[in-house]
Amino acid sequence: MRVMADAGDERAALLRREYHAQTARIRWHALQTHYAGGRVVVVAPGTDLIEVAVQLGLDNTDAFTAWIEGGQVSGVSEEQALAWYTADAEVWAVVAAPWVLVQPASESP
State residue 75's pLDDT score. Answer: 96
Render pLDDT for 3-43 as a digit per residue (tens, 0 to 9): 344 556 899 999 999 999 999 999 999 999 999 999 999 99
Mean pLDDT of 67-94: 96
Q: Please say if the pLDDT value at position 1 is more than 60.
A: no
pLDDT score of 57: 92
Residue 14 amino acid letter: L
Give the C-alpha separation, 20 to 3, whole Å.
26
Q: What percent of the chain has pLDDT over 90?
A: 86
* pLDDT value at residue 106: 76
Q: What's the pLDDT at 2?
A: 37
